Structure 1
Amino acid sequence: MKLHVHQKLVRLLIVCGVLHLSAAHAQQPVKTVKSNALSAPAYLEIPLGNIRPEGWLRHQLQIMRDGTTGHLDEVYAKVKNDNGWLGGRGDGWEETPYWLDGALPLAYLLDDQALKTKVRKYVDWVIAHQRPSGYFGPLTKAEREKGVAITAANCAEGEDWWPKMVMLKVLQQYYMATGDARVITFMTRFFNYQYKALQQCPIGKWTEWATSRGTDNAMIAQWLYGITGDPALLRLAAMIEDQSFPWSHWLGNRDWVIHAAAYQDDRDWMHRHGVNVGMALKDPAIQYQRTKDEKYLQYLETGFNDLMTLHGLPFGMFSADEDLHGNDPVQGTELCAIVESMFSLEQIIGITGDIQYMDALEKMTFNALPTQTTDDYNNKQYFQIANQVQVTRGVFNFSLPFNREMNNVFGMRSGYTCCLANMHQGWTKFASHLWYATPAKGLAALAYSPCSVTAKVGAAGTLVTIREITNYPFEDSVRFELSATKATAFSLQLRIPSWCEEAVIWLNGQRLRTEKGGQVITVNRTWQNGDRLTLQLPMEVKVSTWGRNSRAVERGPLVYALKLQERWEQGTDEKEGPYFSVYPKGDWNYGLLQAQVKDPAQLTVKQVKPVTDDFVWNIAHAPIEIVADAKKIPGWRLYNDVAPTPVTEREGVYKGKVNDEVEQITLIPYGCTKVRVVAFPVVK
């Protein structure tokens, strides 16, 4: 593989030869490869650091910087001690790359020099210690003990492909932030080595994790092809896919997801492991990108819809405890599965431009993600439960119970520590994918949160900055304020979510137009410095149906759960360290009245407090409440420490004993809760 790239590389975005430069590095032209070998992307990623989080989102990232994301290497012995990715004998597998996969983008999103310095030392070590053959990673046993030089001919002396796939993602992001030309040279040399080595040391030689997750490897090879144009990279990507699990085929052909729903034994469990599935969601899109075969887009749609139908839960995610485990609201979901599914959706959006995945990303982010970590981002739950009326030690009805019963509590090291290392990519990559560039040199806002974006747009490459001023997802207004060095014509694309019946667009205080939901619209004009565009997305209260005939209350991208005051208790496990249990203060065994389920407009929405720049996803900061009428179900009690959903008839009404008294209950955003009911039975 030859390197066909100008050596004075700058911060940029290159996908299939299309680029957008940041303000700081816009002066130098870059030669890029123009090729039609890959399918034309719907949207292009914007260089890391050109999107700046603001408001509540910036505060969330600051919490992470001050907590484990910024300091995992100081507080977690496995990463801290003699790290293999810095030349030591310690962690040389996935956890250090996992951590960097979130910590590195955080450093550039916040422009935090101390964190940049911290993560840069790992990047520098990895690049500086690439072997002459192109192999990279921690020093292997053979290298240490025998002085072996690893080459493609003796690739068996190397180690697992899987953690290298994660480190390649780290290096890609570093390049997107800095334009450091060493990354292109490094990847070119490694992929040359891998192309030769895979013929003797296939992707699954060391672990089935690599066989499960080869798509991440192929994705980076195809990204590099967009820069160098070396056709061997596409052959490599195809070889990796051929040696990996056939996820696209499984997603598009329903036997796989049906079997995953039916069986929970130890046969083929890697095929239904929730984190593997979350990573695999992007496989059809990556295959489509390389082959241009539209069957892969159908595989993606079929697989995603089947997955969410058979295993979907009200908070926008599928069960994964650790395996796919059906749609009962007392099943669990692993934190790693959430952040990997989010990243897959972000890649799918760029390749396909399909709005259903944009809607899915927001729902997953604003509901599933925030509830599974503590306010300080120092403790996490390995598995969360939708109807989680208490957080305690126990076995529960999970497919992976653990003997120490620590998979549901909040702790730094509770459950497996893969999530402690991997959780950091969730918020950071969401923040870096709020905006995309368009092939026509415009901009697209496809997920909403307070932020700003800087890019060159239009035929003349005019530098613009757009501030996105909003308290979304808690409010229905998103305001865009444009700063430009001169008037410039470009297209601005805006997503109108599928849950929105009709959006209203305002330009400089004047009503511009209305648009139906479920589409991405385009506003074409010559934009002036100081232009203001406002997107109004009316949020109606709706009721959705979930497993065991339960109902959930939704408004906009948010799902609402029963507000329960919390009692926290701290404990210590001999092996997994300190942890927290959480118990409710008050009753939780309520059913929603059928009349309000049929007519959600009867539910009362109240703004109870403003969303400030110090917002935290917890009860104290919950800005919106929905008041509903309910009746208590006295027979709905804990069983094996969970709250199995009461059985209902076809009509969806619980027929057991129900109290006569109608009570008003308060619902708050699911992401602000730790104990809750979100999937309610219905009563008369």
Structure 2
Amino acid sequence: MKHILLSLIVCLISIHVFGQSLSEAEKFVPPVYQELPLGAIQPDGWLKHQLQIMRNGTSGHLDEVYAKIGKDNGWLGGTGDAWEETPYWLDGAVPLAWLLKDLTLQKKVKKYIDWTIEHQRSSGYFGGITNYELQNDTTVTVKNMKEAGADWWPKMVMLKVMKQYYQATGDPRVIGFMKKYFQFQINALKNAPLGQWTEWATSRGTENVMMAQWLFQVTKDESLLELASLIESQSFSWSEWFGNRDWVIWAAAYQNGDRWMHRHGVNVGMAIKSPAINYQRTGDQKYLKALKTGFTDLMTLHGLPMGIFSADEDLHGNDPIQGTELCAIVESMYSLEEIGSITGDPFYMDALERMAFNALPSQTTDDYNNKQYFQIANQVQISRGVFNFSLPFDREMNNVLGMRSGYTCCLANMHQGWPKFAQHLWYKNEKNGLAALVFSPNTVKTTVGSDNTEIEIVENTTYPFDEKIQFDLKMKNSVEFPFDIRIPAWCKNPSIKINGKKLPIENNGQIVSINRKWSNLDQLVVYFPMEVTTSNWGRNSTAIERGPLVYALKIKERWEKGNDEKEGDYFSVFPESDWNYGLVQDAVQNPKEHINVSAVKTVNSDFVWNLSHAPIEISVPGKQIPGWKAIEGVAYQPVTARDGIYKGKVSEKTEQLTLVPIGCTKVRIVAFPVVK
């Protein structure tokens, strides 16, 4: 007993002494996986075509078709927009320009970056010229920031732009620019705190914390960690809220104006990474626990089948008739990319793929020139209306496909989704090896191993539609390094072959690390068999899944073009075939026996996420529910009993329903009632 007590005393003394001696820098936890330089990954196949469409559309030309970005822009010294929309656009256009090696687009975005760097004030402040500066012929300083400065929030986005530009070019001006700004900020925040101008800054302070911590990893300047802690103290307490569970319950229960910024969907999408960012700075495991608790609770109470939570604009529960803002999707994707890098947890990479391949593609037109502000899971028509949104808008333009429909934040911000996804297909692991954590066709060129040997890996696949992913390695000299591969949690029987020889794998839902000496023309082939499964969602509804994709009823579409006096041209989409079907219970309970999968088209380099290109179709038995009708465009879910069966009148005729990937649809049913 004495030995036990003595050991306990020694342990407590050690915790006190050594715990207190740790500096902020020593507490800092480096990411499990490091980002590659922007441009090291080059998209191929369908993903490259998606980025080319964006480049040819609004992503590459927003400044030409949207006056707020191009005309007298504040980020170019003009009197126009100096707030969030220009940085939002650049946050997607910069990675797009370097992923495609597009010199014209690079030159275009660099114009805004150069002006911002070259017109940084001597104090370190940056951004558009403020009214105070114009009227008083002065510049913003630490002392006059409260009167002379402007909102902290848009600068957070521009810092992310600068980071990406630096990762692409190594331009040393960026590091000096950031150092000077953060030195200014740590002093100015004491007089002009984060919420001095808007609550957007306090709700999104994580973006600022993240950038200070990124610069710390480059410079090792401990004052940046002090700044990160200060910003966190002035921001919404997302990490605490995610961990203690009261917040997500409250957000599910109320839809009034009380604390609505606490449940604003885009705020939440950005904040998902808050616990991971705080863990990185402190090394405290409580933040990782809060992250898992908060994300799981969020998706349980507000999750929709396509992998995103409701956000129309607020969190709005898990009923399939709720909507989601496009900004919330792209911000959540970026948060998951950062979380995966910091934690190395494949759980979040599974979530990222589900979101990217299901929620993102269906919310824009094929040419990427029009978008929905809100999309709906069970979306039986796209039209003007109030629907069942927490922010319905008197103008009734939140659901239509338009360039300027709804708020234009999404017009500016939607461009980061696919480019950042492509940018994070690969990471470096701790032994200077490579990690393939999400999958799509691409080629990566980088260095690996102790001698930084140059290597090229071609990832040949049509994933997420195909089960096979082939990695072809090219190098001049053989080199030893660990090759990490994520095994998706949905895959029950994965297999890996190296040069035709099968490699044993323990189980799914993990990251397999293959550490060996690799040689030129080595080939690694991964097979992820995709079984058809069913899942339960809000209002006791059922979705059909196969691999990372969720499938929706294939409905014939009728498109109509309209025009709004203030918001311009837009498109409505109406169903031209029946949609009011339930899935037959036997098929839901025994999908292998009753559900058939057909590969109907090849995924080529001209693939577009639409009905005419849908490569996979699923046939499932269903019956029509005559009483299930849309009310003002909303397909309110039929009531089911505890056993999950709809008890109302159902057609006696069984039909074979055709389902396609939800990303290829505009009007659809994805969360089905179940019938006998």
Q: TM-score, normalised by structure 2?
A: 0.96
CA contact (8 A) 2:25 2:222 kept: no
Q: Which residue of 2 aligns with 1:176?
A: 167
- The correspondence for 1:60, drawn from 39, 42, 50, is 50
Alpha-carbon shift at residue 510 of structure 1 (Å): 2.3
Query: How far apart in 2 are the matches of 1:159 and 1:40?
Result: 33
CA contact (8 A) 2:279 2:285 kept: yes
Structure 2 letter corresponding to 1:189: K
- The correspondence for 1:659, drawn from 635, 651, 656, is 651
Q: Which residue of 2 aligns with 1:107?
A: 97
CA contact (8 A) 1:565 1:584 kept: yes
The alignment yields a C-alpha RMSD, in angstroms, of: 0.8
- The correspondence for 1:144, drawn from 134, 143, 150, is 134
- The correspondence for 1:131, drawn from 106, 114, 121, is 121
Query: How far apart in 2 are the matches of 1:439 and 1:151?
Result: 41
- 2:291 corresponds to 1:311: no
CA contact (8 A) 2:497 2:526 kept: yes
Query: How far apart in 2 are the matches of 1:98 and 1:137?
Result: 14
Write out aligned runs for 1:542-621 (5 A).
Answer: 542-601=533-592, 602-621=594-613
Q: Could you report, residue by residue, the CA deviation over 1:111-146 in whole angstroms, capped at 9, with x for unpaired residues?
A: 000000000000100000000000000000011111
Write out aligned runs for 1:157-556 (5 A).
Answer: 157-556=148-547
Query: How far apart in 2 are the matches of 1:378 and 1:404?
Result: 21
Alpha-carbon shift at residue 512 of structure 1 (Å): 2.5
CA contact (8 A) 1:503 1:515 kept: no
Aligned to 1:348, the other structure's residue is in SS state helix
CA contact (8 A) 1:503 1:538 kept: yes
Alpha-carbon shift at residue 35 of structure 1 (Å): 5.8
Aligned to 2:504, the other structure's residue is in SS state strand
Structure 2 letter corresponding to 1:347: E
Query: How far apart in 2 are the matches of 1:513 and 1:536?
Result: 13
Structure 2 letter corresponding to 1:497: P
Alpha-carbon shift at residue 37 of structure 1 (Å): 4.0
- 2:660 corresponds to 1:668: yes
Query: How far apart in 2 are the matches of 1:193 and 1:444?
Result: 37
Q: Which residue of 2 aligns with 1:98?
A: 88
Aligned to 1:57, the other structure's residue is in SS state helix
- The correspondence for 1:71, drawn from 45, 61, 83, is 61
- The correspondence for 1:154, drawn from 144, 148, 151, is 144
Query: How far apart in 1 are the matches of 2:259 and 2:522?
Result: 56
Structure 2 letter corresponding to 1:203: L
Once the two structures are overlaid, the 10-residue window that deviates more, 238-247 or 147-156, is 147-156
- 2:617 corresponds to 1:625: yes
CA contact (8 A) 1:502 1:515 kept: no
Query: How far apart in 2 are the matches of 1:500 and 1:657?
Result: 37
Query: How far apart in 1 are the matches of 2:449 and 2:71?
Result: 50
Give aligned-pair identity as a percent: 65
Query: How far apart in 2 are the matches of 1:301 and 1:650?
Result: 29
Structure 2 letter corresponding to 1:282: K
CA contact (8 A) 1:135 1:150 kept: yes
Structure 2 letter corresponding to 1:553: I
Q: Which residue of 2 aligns with 1:7?
A: none
Alpha-carbon shift at residue 80 of structure 1 (Å): 1.4
Query: How far apart in 2 are the matches of 1:511 and 1:299?
Result: 39
Q: Which residue of 1 aligns with 2:631?
A: 639
Query: How far apart in 2 are the matches of 1:150 and 1:652?
Result: 62
CA contact (8 A) 2:25 2:225 kept: no
What 5-or-longer segments of structure 1 have no aligned partner?
1-33
Alpha-carbon shift at residue 396 of structure 1 (Å): 1.1
Once the two structures are overlaid, the 10-residue window that deviates more, 320-329 or 453-462, is 453-462
Once the two structures are overlaid, the 10-residue window that deviates more, 451-460 or 44-53, is 451-460
Q: Could you report, residue by residue, the CA deviation over 1:179-235 in whole angstroms, capped at 9, with x for unpaired residues?
A: 110000000000000000000000010000000000000100000001111111000
Q: TM-score, normalised by structure 1?
A: 0.95
Alpha-carbon shift at residue 640 of structure 1 (Å): 2.6
Query: How far apart in 2 are the matches of 1:515 and 1:486?
Result: 31
CA contact (8 A) 1:502 1:514 kept: no
CA contact (8 A) 2:304 2:318 kept: yes
Q: Could you report, residue by residue, the CA deviation over 1:385-426 in whole angstroms, capped at 9, with x for unpaired residues?
A: 000011010001111011110000000000000000000000
Alpha-carbon shift at residue 600 of structure 1 (Å): 1.2
CA contact (8 A) 2:583 2:622 kept: yes
Q: Which residue of 2 aligns with 1:38?
A: 28
Query: How far apart in 2 are the matches of 1:510 and 1:489?
Result: 18
Q: Which residue of 1 aligns with 2:78?
A: 88
Q: Could you report, residue by residue, the CA deviation over 1:133-183 in whole angstroms, capped at 9, with x for unpaired residues?
A: 000000000111111221101111110000000000000000000011000
Query: How far apart in 1 are the matches of 2:411 and 2:252?
Result: 28
CA contact (8 A) 2:436 2:484 kept: yes
Query: How far apart in 2 are the matches of 1:292 and 1:520?
Result: 22
Alpha-carbon shift at residue 673 of structure 1 (Å): 0.1
Query: How far apart in 2 are the matches of 1:177 and 1:528?
Result: 28
Structure 1 letter corresponding to 2:292: E
Alpha-carbon shift at residue 514 of structure 1 (Å): 3.6
Query: How far apart in 1 are the matches of 2:534 and 2:475?
Result: 43
What 5-or-longer segments of structure 2 have no aligned partner?
1-23
Query: How far apart in 2 are the matches of 1:113 and 1:354?
Result: 36
Q: Could you report, residue by residue, the CA deviation over 1:446-502 in whole angstroms, capped at 9, with x for unpaired residues?
A: 000000111111111111111100000000000000011200000000000000002
Query: How far apart in 2 are the matches of 1:50 and 1:363?
Result: 24
Q: Which residue of 1 aligns with 2:6?
A: none
Q: Which residue of 2 aligns with 1:27?
A: none
Alpha-carbon shift at residue 515 of structure 1 (Å): 4.2
Alpha-carbon shift at residue 41 of structure 1 (Å): 1.5
